[in-house]
């Protein structure tokens, strides 16, 4: 289990925290914990891009790599940066010992 901290990407405001297990996506944790700004309009099927987050390259190494389809979706988003991921595709690989920070891009 890995601890996650959610903050607003642009204001830094703390939005919540949770723990992610093997079959959970970061998006599911966010929904469970009521983190504002993460919607899951397509229920986590990588079809809507309403779960956009920023994650540092360091933290990103703990998750399954981004595949081409996710990249294609994310690259079309207005606020896309090199640290963008769709949180519905963030599945943990191994256990991180430090808390991972997820920066939520959209406002509620």
Partner 1 sequence: MSAHASVGTLIVGAGQAGIQLALSLRSHGYEAPVLVAGEESDSPYQRPPLSKTFFRNDGDGSLLPFRSDSVYAKHNIELRLGERVTRIDHDLKIAYCESGMSVTYEHLALTVGGTAKRLEIPGLLEGHGRSARGIYSLRTAEDARSLRNALTSASRVVVIGGGFIGLEFTASARELGCDVTVLVARSRILSRVAPPVVSQLLHNAHTRRGVHIRLNTEIRRIIVTGGAVSGIELSDGTMVPCDLVLVGIGLSPRNELAKALGITCIDGAICVDAAGRTSLDGVVAAGDCTTFTSWVDGTHITHESVSNAVDQAKVVAATIAGIEAPPRPEPWFWSDQYDLKLQSVGISHPDDELEIDLDEDTETLVAIHRRNGAVRAVTTVNRPREFMRARKDLERFALESVR
We find the least distance from the C-beta atom of residue 60 to partner 1, in angstroms, to be 20
CB 52 within 8 A of CB 87: yes
Query: Of 41, 64, 93, 98, which one interacts with partner 1 (CB under 8 A)?
Result: 41
∠ at Cα 106 (95, 85), nearest 5°?
40
- For 26, phi then psi, to 5°, come to -60, -35
Q: Using CB under 8 A, which of the segments 4-12, 43-51, 57-65, 97-105 binds partner 1?
A: 43-51
Burial of 71 from C-beta contacts in 10 A (0-12 / 13-18 / 19+): middle
Given the rule CB under 8 A, which of 4-12, 35-43, 57-65, 94-102 is the region that contacts partner 1?
Answer: 35-43
Nearest distance, CB of residue 94 and partner 1, angstroms? 18
The three-state secondary structure class of 70 is helix
Spatial separation of the C-alpha atoms in residues 12 and 24, rounded to whole Å: 24
User: Which residue in the set 75, 82, 95, 97 belongs to the binding site for partner 1 (CB under 8 A)?
Assistant: 75
Among 5, 17, 19, 42, binds partner 1 (CB under 8 A): 42
Which parts of this chain interact with partner 1 (CB under 8 A)? 23, 28, 31-34, 40-49, 69, 72-73, 75-77, 108
């Amino acid at each position: 289990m890995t601890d996650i901290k959610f903050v607003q990407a642009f204001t830094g405001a703390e939005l919540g925290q949770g723990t992610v297990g093997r079959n959970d996506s970061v998006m599911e944790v966010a929904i469970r914990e009521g983190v504002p700004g993460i919607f899951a309009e397509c229920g986590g099927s990588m079809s809507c891009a309403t779960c956009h987050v920023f994650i540092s390259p360091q933290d990103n190494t703990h998750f399954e790599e981004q595949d081409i389809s996710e990249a294609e979706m994310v690259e079309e988003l207005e606020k896309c940066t090199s640290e963008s991921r769709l949180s519905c595709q963030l599945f943990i690989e191994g256990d991180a010992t430090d808390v991972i920070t997820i920066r939520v891009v959209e406002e509620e």
